[in-house]
Structure 1
Amino acid sequence: MKPLKTTSTKKKSTPADHYPQLYQDFRWNVPEHFNIAEVCCHRWADDPKRVAIFHENSEGISGRLTYAELQKQANQLANLLRLQGVDRGDVVASIMPQRPETAVTLMACLQLGAIAMPLSFLFGPEALEYRLQHSEAVALVLDASGLDAYLSIANQCPHLKTVITVDCPNAPADFHPMEWEAYVANMPAEFTCEKTRATDPAILIYTSGTTGAPKGALIPHSAMIGNLSGFVASQNWFPKKHDVFWSPADWAWTGGLMDALLPALYFGKPIVGYRGRFTAETAFYLLNKYKVTNTFLFPTALKMMMKAVPAPHDKYRLKLRAIMSAGEAVGDTVFHWCETALKVTPNEMFGQTEMNYIVGNSHQQWPAKPGSMGRPYPGHQVAVIDDDGKEVSTGETGEVAVNRYDIHGHPDPVFFLGYWKNDEATRNKFTGDWCRTGDLALRDEDGYLWYQGRADDMFKAAGYRIGPSEIENCLIKHPAVANVAVVPKPDKERGNLVKAYVVLSPGIKANDKLTKELQAHVRGKLAPYEYPKEIEFIAALPMTTTGKVQRRVLRLQELERANKNGD
């Protein structure tokens, strides 16, 4: 499909390039004491009419939560958690979709000085069990979406002392949690926020690893500040008077939490929370109904919307003024569709859980190059380096890295504190003051970065960050599997598909029934997006002389096949 063309005969003007001045003039202002809940909720709570969250579910039941109500409920939950013995530095987990109680739980934990650990409601039992055990979480808040998965592993979580349920009328009779409706509403509505330092831990998010188990990235309160320059720029200088934010990104992930929920609340603006499956039609419905002005949409979502509704302004009254996209390359076709059909130039962005919102575009301030990751956002010193930590020349491929200090020699607040209970992994993330992303790119003569692939075996599929080890560990537990390697298979729609190369145990024969059985095995234990969409049975995996699987060989094989087939 060729890129859509504008019907205008006028020559399109090129935006002025304000980047050099913006980047050079930027300075961080990080106070000694800082709390995310204080700036994202408490300071807005005096206005009883200010809306924090518009919420709706798939049945069309909708409502709104003001900042005053958000603060009151956060105070009540914080009092309940403190009564249950939760203290500063304790980990409190939550398993909920985009609903008001998710934000309430987050604010309650942060003002308590506890560490919030949001977990995706898509997690299966094994993924959930590992995170709850490894984090030593002492409390859990969940709704019906995570109930079954939790109940199947509840006995394996000895540190968990308090469980609070939201809307779980069908919980088994022998399960006796604290019901939100009965306990939270009866707690005092006043709570004094703990005085936290900007460098104190705030959020724990586990990232899938390519080797070993998932790693818990511990995020400080100051990372909220570190995200802001990129967020403001990618959202075309958010906020403006009537801004409303929405993104389908799960609030348990960095994309939904740090790129949508928290920054929207930081600026005192409303965000839309939707509990339901993403479809193109639903996306346009929400954009239209809530007069959404700003959004974060994965390229996969944009592709679905482009195919389902090629000319959205013929059907909907859209108010969109900014689109940020990340997770994979947008591509020329989708880029030009956004420009012509949505009438918004998308701003691509790049970041990681460990240091988010570091590179990207802001097309109203500097020209966007379709397909480019963009330039380093103000406040972040970003380079493309070699194995020794030295910058490579323009046009050469190297690893994207972020320095601990900005160009003025001041500490960059965007960084994570380290990996939870994994000092070695934390040390390996750095080469001197450079924090390595594991992503390869080249820098052009204008300072734009162009993505070239992963330095390790991590990959993204449909916007989700996938680590092969967790899937491989799950598959290897099946008695039919002797060995396995998981790699990305290029796909036009999703960027990549999860593919597993499987070596069968002696005496086991490959067939379609076994393929479906192995897929169901993974789907039942991990998140739905992690199960292998394709399985290829082979006699042996390519190995190094030291016995390590050479996933790179299999990745290249998939790339060659895709190129040969025109995919």
Structure 2
Amino acid sequence: MPSAERPQPNRYEALYSQFRWLVPSDLNIAEVCCTRWASDKSRVAIHYEDDAGHCATLTYAQLHAQANRLANVLRDLGVGRGDRVAIILPQRPETAVAHIACYRLGAVAMPLSMLFGPDALEYRLQNSEASIAVVDQAGYQHLQQARTACPALKNVIALGGDADDTLDWDSALAKASEDFDPVRTRASDPAVLIYTSGTTGAPKGALIPHSAIIGNLPGFVASQNWFPQEADVFWSPADWAWTGGLWDALLPTLYFGKPILGYRGRFSADTAFYLLEKYRVTNTFLFPTALKMMMKAYPAPGEKFSLRLRAIMSAGEAVGDTVFNWCQSALGITPNEMFGQTEMNYIVGNSAQQWPAKPGSMGRPYPGHRIALIDDDGREVGTGEVGEVALNRTDMHGHPDPIFFIGYWKNPDATRNKYSGDWCRTGDLALMDEDGYLWYQGRADDMFKAAGYRIGPSEIENCLVNHPAVANAAVVPKPDAERGNVVKAYVVLTPGTERGRDAEQRLIAELQAHVRGKLAPYEYPKEIEFIDELPMTTTGKVQRRVLRLMEQERASRTAAQG
């Protein structure tokens, strides 16, 4: 059985205080993530495999050449500096090609999830006024349904399609030149537009500059245990259409000239271990949900798989003691939890080989990022008090932090509301302990009060998952006339757990006793409902909001009937 890596001296203070930003005035993501590596004809950029067993490899030289061809195609279609290009593709080599082509044009890449239906696509295409969309067959039908309501969308480039109203990717690139004179861009120029859903209102498009690739690097390097090393290979199931896949995986891996694995297929524990072993993956980003699935399926993976993993980053939810301990004991790796969001990503986290990790903690501000917890009025709260995580526009030395988004697309009011003075609010709550570690307390709207107590769902969920019958859990408030709310848990059971009314009633009592024995008395779930699967975002985060609204609707119906 593996043993966790040997603890290293605590170098945090030295790393944090000595760090300085070096951001050139002119910067282009395509140059630093592709062009500078293209002269090495054998350097691999992307390994690719899909669930049908098809495999491919793309070198940096091939990525550069194909991106130049696509850039010429896009330029001929009228795409220029600042124009938005929708990229509706999964993890596949062409996705990287499309991104690099957009950056070389000075255009704005707008990644869109393959899981978006027609309405979701329509809103984003309309709002962004994208002129071009790149899509494969999996997303083609939904795009066609949305396209009629998007007059700005002049052309669609399709992979593997033969429709009359699209351009065929292979044919178009075959006719285009590999020579392309790139547009010169400033570090502050826009590069990516990613739409992020908030707690209210329509999704907002976060416009992200080229400089964000530099801003992401301290967190990426630290959370991946000082990436890159000579034989490093990266893989994450995180969709390249989202921040977690694009900025935490694809682009930083390419920045360092290392290979990344793209897999097109449904995630499972078996698939994860198969890919980790086959491609000799050393570094990964896995959501807590994925790690839970892998832990439940293979408590002792070393008995079956030969792995080369040396670093695991996790984000989106708290890993929890159970999964944290499994990573250490079964994989020999202390997972580095990280926190960030689309607007300013990779700002807080751990690096277990450089400073001690505290299980369950978000970690500490990564070098270059000045973090505070603030109240509703923008004032910093004290140690041990809950406040909203906020990032200052400048680092500890007064230099501008390059991680920031430019603003919300066509939404200046929302951009202004994101800030309290020089502090950019995240909407996430945390407390800071006496050692400077942050402890996630949930989204501002995930917190709730029950019988006068302030409840954060994460700790209760982690406790439930520690029970062998629980695969996953989400905790939300259930409206209650006497207490305001009671704690309710939605629980997904592990395969093979006995079902049926009597068995489930016994299990409910057992789980309640389990939590009551581990946490404060007011934290145990007064009600537990078993559910086949939790509502999740495309990036693997539990959508507690969906469950909370369901409880509110149930309470309203009950009140109306009474």
- The verdict on a shared fold, with TM-score over 0.5 as the criterion, is yes
Residue equivalent to 1:336: 325
Equivalent in 357, 362, 375 of residue 364 of structure 2: 375
Residue equivalent to 1:41: 34
CA deviations 1:192-230 (Å, max 9, x no partner) are 221100000000000002111000000000000000000
How far apart, in 2, do the equivalents of 1:156 and 1:528 lie?
30
Mean Cα deviation higher: 45-54 or 183-192: 183-192
CA deviations 1:132-188 (Å, max 9, x no partner) are 00000000000011111111121001000110000235x5xxx42000011112100
The answer to whether the aligner puts 1:296 opposite 2:313 as a matched pair is: no
The question of whether the paired residues in 2 share the 8 Å contact of 1:38 and 1:193 is answered with no
How far apart, in 1, do the equivalents of 2:213 and 2:312 lie?
20
How far apart, in 2, do the equivalents of 1:7 and 1:235 lie?
19
The question of whether the paired residues in 2 share the 8 Å contact of 1:302 and 1:334 is answered with yes
1:376 shift after superposition: 0.1
1:91 shift after superposition: 0.3
Give the AA of the match of 2:200. Answer: T
The question of whether the paired residues in 1 share the 8 Å contact of 2:86 and 2:112 is answered with yes
Residue equivalent to 1:74: 67
How far apart, in 2, do the equivalents of 1:94 and 1:19 lie?
39
Residue equivalent to 1:496: 474
How far apart, in 2, do the equivalents of 1:37 and 1:541 lie?
55
How far apart, in 2, do the equivalents of 1:313 and 1:108 lie?
41
The answer to whether the aligner puts 1:540 opposite 2:556 as a matched pair is: yes
Give the AA of the match of 1:232. Answer: V
The 5 Å alignment of 1:74-223 reads 74-168=67-161, 171=163, 175-223=164-212
- Distance verdict in 2 for CA 1:437–1:304, change over 3 Å: same
The question of whether the paired residues in 2 share the 8 Å contact of 1:231 and 1:263 is answered with yes
How far apart, in 1, do the equivalents of 2:558 and 2:393 lie?
38
How far apart, in 2, do the equivalents of 1:529 and 1:140 lie?
29
1:542 shift after superposition: 12
Equivalent in 434, 445, 454 of residue 443 of structure 2: 454
Residue equivalent to 1:53: 46
The 5 Å alignment of 1:405-416 reads 405-416=394-405
How far apart, in 1, do the equivalents of 2:279 and 2:57 lie?
11
How far apart, in 1, do the equivalents of 2:403 and 2:23 lie?
11
| Unpaired stretches in structure 1, ≥5 consecutive residues | 1-5, 460-488, 502-518, 544-567
1:391 shift after superposition: 1.2
| Unpaired stretches in structure 2, ≥5 consecutive residues | 449-459, 466-470, 480-531
1:153 is paired with a residue whose SS is: helix
CA deviations 1:298-337 (Å, max 9, x no partner) are 0000000011111111111100000000000000010010
Residue equivalent to 1:267: 256
- Distance verdict in 2 for CA 1:103–1:497, change over 3 Å: farther
- Distance verdict in 2 for CA 1:500–1:260, change over 3 Å: farther
How far apart, in 1, do the equivalents of 2:364 and 2:382 lie?
16
Q: Which runs of 4+ in 1 moved over 3 A?
A: 11-14, 456-459, 489-501, 527-543
How far apart, in 1, do the equivalents of 2:262 and 2:270 lie?
16
1:395 is paired with a residue whose SS is: coil
1:373 shift after superposition: 0.2
- Distance verdict in 2 for CA 1:533–1:406, change over 3 Å: closer
The 5 Å alignment of 1:431-450 reads 431-450=420-439
1:22 is paired with a residue whose SS is: helix
Number of positions where the alignment pairs a residue of Structure 1 with one of Structure 2? 481
Give the AA of the match of 1:155. Answer: T
How far apart, in 2, do the equivalents of 1:399 and 1:265 lie?
33
1:495 shift after superposition: 5.1
CA deviations 1:364-401 (Å, max 9, x no partner) are 00000000000000000001111222211110111100
2:32 is paired with a residue whose SS is: helix
How far apart, in 2, do the equivalents of 1:52 and 1:420 lie?
31
1:250 is paired with a residue whose SS is: coil
1:241 is paired with a residue whose SS is: coil
Residue equivalent to 1:312: 301
The question of whether the paired residues in 2 share the 8 Å contact of 1:497 and 1:532 is answered with no
Residue equivalent to 1:464: none
The question of whether the paired residues in 2 share the 8 Å contact of 1:217 and 1:416 is answered with yes
Residue equivalent to 1:18: 11
- Distance verdict in 2 for CA 1:539–1:301, change over 3 Å: closer
Report sequence identity in percent: 66
How far apart, in 1, do the equivalents of 2:170 and 2:23 lie?
38
How far apart, in 1, do the equivalents of 2:282 and 2:558 lie?
50
RMSD (CA atoms):
2.7
Q: TM-score, normalised by structure 1?
A: 0.81
The question of whether the paired residues in 2 share the 8 Å contact of 1:383 and 1:402 is answered with yes
1:358 is paired with a residue whose SS is: strand
1:152 is paired with a residue whose SS is: helix
- Distance verdict in 2 for CA 1:127–1:529, change over 3 Å: farther
How far apart, in 1, do the equivalents of 2:155 and 2:41 lie?
32
1:457 shift after superposition: 5.8
The question of whether the paired residues in 2 share the 8 Å contact of 1:328 and 1:495 is answered with no
How far apart, in 2, do the equivalents of 1:542 and 1:385 lie?
38
